[in-house]
């Protein structure tokens, strides 16, 4: 019974942490409310948000839209809190994990039911200026009354997958001590990165920039690393207001520094250099693929009138996962070999 209560406590704490980060990010962005906060938490587990808008004049025309973006900052906080509480005690991890998975999924279902509300949109709100020509899309007078909601099914499924992934990571830490050591080493660099990036965004871009960084910092880091490795991000279809990221490559030192940290954390010290490099290559390649898939964004809008639906916008921000796999694996392999060569005389790396 004690393990059951600990699993429940871990799930509740994770949900509260996710809600807190979501509320803080929205507050910095200048918006908020229980409905929007619940929607961001639901987005964090992969559930898309559905939006429906109708003109106030009573015309038989409606806009239907969907947004699928995962605020990985919120997801990461929930995963860290859940994993930390589940791994604090030895033994009976599977019991705690099973209870936490069920409780976390049920809690997300309840939160998703609260993820609804109204939005006031200006006339012709079809997209940012310069992105979409609103004159021929949307001849809607007055203003639009919009409402948003989230389906319960995708939220529950995403919550279960996230919780099971955290339980799996906790199990790996109990079976392989070097995995636990890697997570422990990673704590402070991640905390410093989040605090530093949020503070810098607030100082140079204001509160709204800080709120955005708080919600989507992992996406920004992923994009910077992949761009530095030569993996482009593409917007399909191309929009005039979105810069072309296919040829923009920041300084390679950004990717080099981040990959060096990952190698320092994930490297397997036992074994020969080539075997160690292969292990690091598999990890960095897998992480690159997962982060690429989780960082994709899609949005669609359609107009419905007299039972006819016409799609008017379907935008996707994506990167090639196979190219990300190759680039991440190659960078991890090369980084591990370089690190081994540089530290061959150090006793710490001869174990």
H helix runs in the chain, sequence order: 2-28, 34-43, 72-86, 93-114, 152-175, 177-228, 252-266, 273-294, 321-342
What's the whole-number mean pLDDT along residues 15-35?
93
> Is there a domain that residue 41 lies in?
yes
Query: What pLDDT sits at residue 251?
Result: 53
Question: How many CA atoms are closer than 13 Å to the CA of 154, on its beta-carbon side?
Answer: 16
pLDDT higher than threshold 70 for residue 248: no
Could you tell me the two tokens for 49?
């948000």
Residue 82 in this model has a pLDDT that exceeds 90: yes
Same domain flag for 157 and 82: yes
Give the pLDDT mean for 241-258: 58
Q: Is residue 182 part of a domain?
A: no
Share of the chain above pLDDT 70, in %: 79
- 261 shares its domain with 319: yes
Q: Are residues 254 and 336 in the same domain?
A: yes
Higher-pLDDT residue of 345 and 338 is 338
DSSP characters over 227-265: HHTT--EEEES--TTS---SS----HHHHHHHHHHHHHH
Q: Are residues 158 and 205 in the same domain?
A: no
Residue 69 lies in a domain: yes
Are 35 and 124 contained in the same domain?
yes
Residues 203 and 309 reside in one and the same domain? yes
The one-character DSSP state at 197 is: H
Residues 146 and 54: their CA atoms lie apart, in Å, by 6
pLDDT value at position 123? 47
d(Cα 184, Cα 180) in Å, to the nearest integer?
A: 6
Range of lowest pLDDT (93-107, 168-182, 203-217, 286-300): 168-182
Q: What is the pLDDT of residue 214?
A: 93
Q: Of 56-70, 97-111, 163-177, 311-325, which has the strongest mean pLDDT?
A: 97-111
Domain that holds residue 170: 1-175
Name residue, tokens 């015309």.
Answer: 59
Give me the number of domains the chain comprises.
2
Statement: residue 250 has pLDDT above 60: no
Residues 170 and 203 grouped into a single domain: no
pLDDT at 172: 86
Distance CA 35, CA 172 (A): 36
Predicted confidence (pLDDT) per residue in 117-135, tens digit: 887 554 444 444 445 444 4
Do 303 and 214 fall into the same domain? yes
């Amino acid at each position: 019974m004690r393990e059951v209560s600990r699993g429940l406590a871990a799930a509740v704490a994770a949900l509260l942490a996710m809600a807190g980060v979501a509320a803080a990010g929205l507050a910095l962005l200048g918006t908020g409310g229980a409905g929007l906060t619940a929607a961001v938490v639901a987005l964090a587990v992969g559930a898309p948000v559905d939006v429906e808008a109708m003109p106030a004049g009573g015309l038989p025309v409606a806009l239907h839209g969907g947004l699928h973006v995962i605020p990985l900052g919120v997801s990461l906080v929930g995963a860290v809190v859940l994993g930390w509480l589940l791994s604090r005690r030895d033994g009976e991890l599977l019991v705690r994990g099973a209870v936490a998975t069920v409780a976390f999924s049920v809690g997300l279902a309840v939160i998703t039911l609260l993820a609804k509300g109204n939005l006031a949109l200006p006339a012709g709100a079809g997209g940012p200026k310069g992105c979409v020509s609103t004159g021929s899309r949307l001849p809607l007078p007055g203003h639009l009354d919009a409402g948003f909601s989230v389906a319960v099914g995708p939220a529950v499924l995403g919550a279960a997958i996230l919780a099971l992934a955290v339980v799996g990571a906790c199990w790996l830490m109990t079976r392989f001590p070097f995995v636990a050591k890697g997570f422990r080493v990673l704590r402070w660099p991640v905390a410093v990165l989040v605090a530093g990036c949020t503070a810098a965004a607030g100082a140079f871009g204001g509160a709204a920039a800080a709120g955005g960084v708080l919600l989507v910092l992992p996406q920004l880091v992923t994009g910077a690393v992949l761009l530095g490795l030569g993996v482009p991000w593409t917007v399909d279809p191309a929009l005039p207001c979105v810069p072309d990221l296919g040829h923009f490559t920041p300084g390679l030192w950004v990717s080099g520094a981040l990959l060096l940290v990952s190698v320092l954390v994930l490297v397997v010290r036992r074994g020969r250099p080539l075997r160690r490099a292969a292990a690091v290559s598999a990890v960095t390649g897998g992480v690159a693929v997962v982060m690429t898939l989780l960082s994709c964004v899609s949005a669609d809008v359609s107009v419905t009138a007299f039972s006819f639906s016409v799609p008017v916008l379907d935008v996707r921000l994506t990167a090639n996962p196979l190219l990300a796999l190759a680039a991440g694996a190659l960078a991890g392999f090369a980084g591990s070999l370089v690190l081994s060569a540089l530290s061959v005389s150090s006793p710490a790396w001869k174990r």
